[in-house]
């Protein structure tokens, strides 16, 4: 599903990713762990196609397509979802309007008709309820006045509505209390299917107790230095990055 080969990325003229390789297949959940500054968020943002992340070498292939040729919104239509470490507040745009515009934009790019208002409301209410989100929050402006946990929950609602093939979740577990963590983990687990894949980017092992990965990668200084099974996460937690790597 996702094939990254020898990826080099500059941010503000400085090389952050220095030859990264990663392959994720349908049905798999991977976790990338690493310290601050290792380049984890750079990887997530590069996959999503953010400006200012300059790919100087290497390739990213998603669903058999060259991702470098695709605009950020086209990547979403192809089935990518990026869960933000810091979800953005958008005053004046309601959550519902945002979700509906997003969903219908994706449907349009995939040659489908708009979802009817009634069908959409039913879908969103169902997803929000499942993720313990107060339906009133759907009417509020996107992330404005939301707590850290509510913002992350909102990311999960967006993911559930857009139903991506590949979810890249950047530090989705940071800043969550244990109840919120469990809800978010539940949201991720629902998304794990035969035909989908998840890439968790995280600092800590904590989330991985609730979302058990098939593979764990250790990232240091812009490269993946070690890969293994889920036991690697525990080893990291115990011994620290320096010893494991």
Partner 1 sequence: MDDAVIQSYEKQAEALEGSVAGMDDLRAKAIKDFAAQGFPHVKAEDWRYSDLKTLRTKAFSPANHAGETPDIPKAFTDCAARFVFVNGRFSESRSDMGDLWQAASVRPLANHFMANPDRAAELVRGRDGVGMLNTALAKDGMVIAVPAGVEIDDPVEIIHIMTGADDCAAHSRHIVELGEGASVHIIERFIGDDSSYWTNSMLQARVTESAKLYHTRLQEEGANAIHTSKAYVNVGAGGQYHACNLSLGAKVGRFEAYVRLLSDESNATIDGVALAGTGQSHDTLTHISHTMPHTTSDQIFRTVADSRGKTSFQGKVTVDKDAQKVEADQSFKALVFDRTAEANAKPELEIFADDVKCSHGATVGDLDAKAIFYLTSRGIDPVTARQMLVEAFAAAALERIEIEPLRDALMARVGDWMAERKAKPIPENKSRVE
Residue 123 interacting with partner 1 (CB under 8 A):
no
Binding string, 77-96, against partner 1, x = CB under 8 A?
Answer: x----x-x--xx-xxxx---
SS3 25: coil
Using CB under 8 A, count the residues that bind partner 1.
27
Nearer to partner 1, 188 or 216 (CB): 188
Q: What share of the chain is helix, strand, coil (3-state, %, to 5)?
A: 40, 30, 30
For partner 1, the closer CB: 4 or 157: 157
- 């990026």: which residue's tokens? 82
**Site for partner 1 contains 71 (CB under 8 A):** yes
Asked if 53 touches partner 1 (CB under 8 A), the answer is: no
Q: Residues 18, 222: contact at Cβ < 8 Å?
A: yes
Query: Is 245:235 a contact under the CB 8 Å cutoff?
Result: no
Gyration radius from the chain CA atoms: 18
x-or-dash string of contact with partner 1, 25-44, rule CB under 8 A: --------------------
Which phi and psi (to 5°) does residue 85 adopt?
Answer: -65, -45
Q: Kindly list the residues in this chain that would bind partner 1 in the complex (CB under 8 A).
A: 48, 50-51, 71-73, 76-77, 82, 84, 87-88, 90-93, 97-98, 101-103, 105-106, 109, 141, 158, 162
């Amino acid at each position: 599903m996702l094939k990254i080969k020898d990826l080099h990325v500059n941010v503000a003229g400085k090389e952050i990713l220095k030859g990264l390789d990663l392959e994720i297949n349908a049905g798999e959940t991977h976790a990338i762990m690493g310290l601050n500054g290792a380049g984890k968020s750079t990887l997530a943002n590069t996959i999503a196609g953010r400006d200012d992340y300059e790919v100087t070498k290497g390739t990213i292939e998603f669903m058999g397509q060259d991702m470098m040729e695709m605009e950020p919104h086209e990547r979403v239509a192809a089935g990518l979802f990026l869960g933000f470490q810091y979800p953005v507040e958008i005053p004046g745009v309601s959550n519902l309007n945002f979700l509906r515009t997003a969903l219908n934009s994706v449907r349009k790019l995939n040659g489908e008709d708009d979802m009817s208002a009634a069908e959409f409301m039913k879908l969103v209410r169902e997803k929000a309820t499942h993720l313990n989100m107060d339906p009133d929050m759907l009417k509020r402006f996107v992330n404005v006045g939301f707590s850290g946990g509510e913002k992350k929950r909102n990311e999960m609602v967006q993911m559930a509505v857009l139903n991506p093939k590949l979810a890249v979740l950047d530090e989705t577990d940071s800043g969550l209390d244990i109840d919120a963590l469990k809800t978010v983990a539940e949201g991720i687990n629902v998304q794990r299917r035969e035909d989908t894949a998840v890439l968790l980017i995280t600092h800590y092992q904590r989330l991985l107790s609730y979302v058990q990965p098939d593979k764990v990668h250790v990232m240091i200084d812009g490269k993946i230095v070690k890969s293994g099974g889920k036991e690697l996460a525990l080893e990291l937690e115990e011994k620290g990055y320096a010893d494991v790597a």
